[in-house]
Chain A
Amino acid sequence: MTGPSTSRALLRPRPLDSALRWTGLAVLVVVVAGPVYLTVATALLTPADIAAGRLLPDPRHLTLANVREALASIPLGRQYLTSVAVTAIQATCQVVLGAMAAYALVFPAWKGRRLVFALLIGTLAIPGETTVLPNYELVSGLGLRDTVIAVALPFLAAAYPVFLLRQAFSDLPREVWEAASLDGAGHLRTLVSVILPMARPQLVTAALWSALAAWNGYFWPLLITDSPQNRTVQVGLAQLVASESSTPGVVYAGTLLVLAPTLLLVLLGQRFLVNGLAARSS
């Protein structure tokens, strides 16, 4: 039997544990924040400082010249709008369809739903490369090449958000769903008013995942569009990189401009995530 004094001793942080924990955290911070720091620093340094490897920026040398050059080289403003549109369409559809699919897989009882789920999960194992050409031919066949819709079209549904939300819904007490049904709520009403509010953290996670995947898409948007104004920022960014000579500062400045919304999204989303997790645990 453990006395109260012992458990208190266990709870009290010991210096060694504490040191290990802080070291671990420090390593993690360097791993996560290092590349972001390098991007920001390189974007704001002069080429001479970059070549010399002076990555602790000297405030007197900081410059926005790289950012200006990046902005002058590609129609970033217009491509930002395209990226935002693609991200909004793609993430919204993935989350809406994902939530509906997950609901159908968890709550109503129907024959074969396990098999359908297994098939859905199976699509995660198909390499994206193998679907590129069929998608290209289909979208071209529909006459949609070089449109914003075409960029999002093949990705309106994805298996991962379905999986994430199915797991979240499975953890919810089934009685809640039964009660809603007894009260006469239809499927859609139950999903929107009862189930989704209870699975908010996973919903935010799914939305973040979908939005990041849409924002970071490169190869498909490049393949299916031709006009600079119908292209996403990731494709525009690639144009800053020359084949046989490159200016790292300008490439990093472009990277910073493209990275900024992602960072914001994660920082904002994180607040929801933490709140959501805290709400669940109480």
Chain B
Amino acid sequence: MPAPSRRSPRPRRRAVVVAIALGATALTGACSSSASTPGAVSTSALASAGPVTITLWHGLGGAPGDAFAKVVSEFNATNPQHITVDAVFQGSYDDALTKYTAAARDGSTPDVMLTNDISTGFMHDLGQTVPAGDLAKANPGSLDLEHLSPAARNYYTADGTLLAVPFNTSVPLLYVNTDLLAKAGVDTSTLGTTDGLDAAARKVAAALPGVKGFALPQAGGWWYEQMTAAAGEPYCTPDNGRSGGGATALSLTGPAQQQAFATVAGLARDGVSLSTGSDDNALLNAFASGQAAMMFNSSGAYSGLVKAGMKDVTAVPLPLSGPAASSGPLIGGAALWVSGQGHSEAQQAAAWTFISYLSSAEVQEEFSQASGYVPVNTQVASSSTEQSYLAANPVAAVAAKELAEAPVVPATAGCLTGALPTVRKTVVADLSQAINGQGDLAAALAKAEADATRNITDYRAQAGK
């Protein structure tokens, strides 16, 4: 989930440029997207090559950016197989993706691209990259994909092939103000379901004058996707876009999904929840200062709460409204893609070697502890230093457990379509009033579903699908 606490400065502009670029690359990209992997390179290509420098583009700023720079310089210091990595910050995920799209047109893409969850469909359609699954198969001794979190792999998989290697990974959490909940007499063990959340929020608002029960970020609209997965339903059809011809329509009107949205809208209508509008920084501040007792947010938001001086805070997993076996959270964050077109075998092999390094248990442990992301390598859990870190950081422990236990089902794979960034904007625009308790929710959902389906149809036409 990109940017729950911040919006891209000019999202509209990015969308326009991406649309133009996509239209222009559609002809070259679309025909190669499915056929771009005649044979993934093997890292043995490095043996005959001299020193190799590879470029990586990313959108990590702040503390995660510093943590990333550190692991890159550690790799360069050991310089395995004479590989040097030049990691370049390219603006927000949106900016970086636009730049990648422009670069694809004149063959100047970086060797490795770190891009966010919702650009997965677009990157897949662009057809510039070699699927991670093929690279892993061609290099048996390198990264063992089985060591990567199954839920994270599920998100980045299409047609049964892993497209990109998840790197910085987050999960959604329900943050709770322990002090306020204790005062209102709410037991956090009741917060596993949406109904439990509903009852608890109402209890807080009734017991504590001036305090709202609940709040959620509304800028990016990713909570509609999370609530859908937590209801065990697909966000787009058919099959969340994971197979065959890809997604053709958005789905917002499933019964369990609609019930989950209605619960949130009901809290707003009854004055139980707090709306901070489209400013997600204001949401963090409001929660940190005790104006709301519970808040949906990314696991990445925790460090901001700590910096704001908040002490009585913990988190529980995302409340579910569907059956536990077939519903759960969606992962967020970003994944590493290896560029194929225009890149030598040695460069691709070096890229895969570096990605294997970034995914190793040691690096994942170091990076996650420094950045606040959740380790994506399942081997990290057995490290004794990680265990003592989690014992001292209960919120990180909740997030790690949530990722480990997320069921791998179609609903928790999330919607795979290159139109997803546009769809998010449409959904936010169409639903923000209704989710804040104004107007007819069912009508707004039907309108958003129709508008977003049109986004998908338009995208497919542009991409020549």
Q: Which of A141, A218, A223 contacts B102 (CB 8 A)?
A: A223
Q: Are B170 and A226 in contact (CB under 8 A)?
A: no
Q: Are A51 and B308 in contact (CB under 8 A)?
A: yes
Residue of B nearest to A132 (CB): B17
Which residues of A, 229-248, contact B by the 8 Å Cβ criterion? Answer: 235, 238-248
Which residues of B, 37-90, contact A by the 8 Å Cβ criterion? Answer: 55, 59-66, 88-90
- Known pairs A47-B309, A226-B88, A242-B60. 19 more at Cβ < 8 A? A51-B309, A53-B285, A73-B65, A73-B66, A129-B13, A132-B17, A136-B106, A222-B91, A222-B99, A223-B98, A223-B102, A239-B65, A240-B61, A243-B3, A243-B61, A243-B93, A244-B300, A245-B304, A246-B304
Residue of A nearest to B19 (CB): A129
A5 to B: closest C-beta gap in Å: 56
> In the docked arrangement, what's the CA distance between A140 and B109, Å?
12
A95 to B: closest C-beta gap in Å: 26
A279 to B: closest C-beta gap in Å: 39
Judged by a CB distance under 8 angstroms, whether A182 is at the interface is: no
Residue of A nearest to B64 (CB): A242
Judged by a CB distance under 8 angstroms, whether A277 is at the interface is: no
- From B4-12, B124-132, B425-433, the one touching the partner chain is B4-12
B60 contacts which chain A residues (CB < 8 A)? 242-243
6 contacts between A and B (CB under 8 A): A50-B308, A136-B102, A136-B106, A145-B108, A245-B62, A245-B302
> In the docked arrangement, what's the CA distance between A223 and B90, Å?
8
> In the docked arrangement, what's the CA distance between A247 and B310, Å?
14
Judged by a CB distance under 8 angstroms, whether B31 is at the interface is: no
> In the docked arrangement, what's the CA distance between A243 and B59, Å?
8
Q: Which of A127, A223, A247 contacts B99 (CB 8 A)?
A: A223
Interface string of A22-52 (1 = CB under 8 A from B): 0000000000000000000000001110111
Q: Which of A140, A219, A244 contacts B13 (CB 8 A)?
A: A219
> In the docked arrangement, what's the CA distance between A132 and B17, Å?
8
Q: Are A137 and B105 in contact (CB under 8 A)?
A: yes
B1 contacts which chain A residues (CB < 8 A)? 244
Q: Which B residues form the contact surface with A (CB < 8 A)? A: 1-6, 9-10, 13, 16-17, 20-21, 24, 55, 59-66, 88-93, 95, 98-99, 102, 105-106, 108, 116, 170, 281, 284-285, 288-289, 298-304, 307-310, 332-333, 372-373
B307 contacts which chain A residues (CB < 8 A)? 47, 247
Residue of A nearest to B89 (CB): A239
> In the docked arrangement, what's the CA distance between A250 and B6, Å?
14
Q: Are B99 and A244 in contact (CB under 8 A)?
A: no
A180 to B: closest C-beta gap in Å: 45
Q: Are B6 and A246 in contact (CB under 8 A)?
A: yes
> In the docked arrangement, what's the CA distance between A222 and B281, Å?
25
Number of A-B contacts (CB under 8 A): 134
> In the docked arrangement, what's the CA distance between A247 and B281, Å?
9
- Top 10 A-B pairs, shortest CB-CB distance: A242-B62, A244-B300, A51-B308, A48-B309, A51-B288, A129-B16, A47-B307, A245-B300, A245-B304, A239-B61
Q: Are B63 and A242 in contact (CB under 8 A)?
A: yes
Q: Are B6 and A241 in contact (CB under 8 A)?
A: yes
Residue of B nearest to A73 (CB): B66
Interface string of A131-144 (1 = CB under 8 A from B): 01100110011000
B106 contacts which chain A residues (CB < 8 A)? 136-137, 140-141
Q: Are A133 and B24 in contact (CB under 8 A)?
A: yes
Judged by a CB distance under 8 angstroms, whether A282 is at the interface is: no
B59 contacts which chain A residues (CB < 8 A)? 243
B299 contacts which chain A residues (CB < 8 A)? 244
B89 contacts which chain A residues (CB < 8 A)? 228, 239
B10 contacts which chain A residues (CB < 8 A)? 219
Q: Are A244 and B332 in contact (CB under 8 A)?
A: yes
A130 contacts which chain B residues (CB < 8 A)? 20
A250 contacts which chain B residues (CB < 8 A)? 62
A73 contacts which chain B residues (CB < 8 A)? 62, 65-66
User: Given known contacts A51-B310, A218-B9, is B92 in contact with A241 (CB within 8 Å)?
Assistant: yes
User: Given known contacts A222-B91, A222-B95, is B64 in contact with A243 (CB within 8 Å)?
Assistant: yes
Q: Which of A52, A226, A238, A248 contacts B92 (CB 8 A)?
A: A238
Which residues of A, 130-166, contact B by the 8 Å Cβ criterion? Answer: 130, 132-133, 136-137, 140-141, 145
B284 contacts which chain A residues (CB < 8 A)? 51
> In the docked arrangement, what's the CA distance between A91 and B332, Å?
43
B300 contacts which chain A residues (CB < 8 A)? 242-245
A241 contacts which chain B residues (CB < 8 A)? 6, 61-62, 92
A129 to B: closest C-beta gap in Å: 4
> In the docked arrangement, what's the CA distance between A245 and B5, Å?
6
Q: Are A238 and B95 in contact (CB under 8 A)?
A: yes
A242 contacts which chain B residues (CB < 8 A)? 6, 60-65, 300
Residue of B nearest to A137 (CB): B106
A219 to B: closest C-beta gap in Å: 7
A233 to B: closest C-beta gap in Å: 14
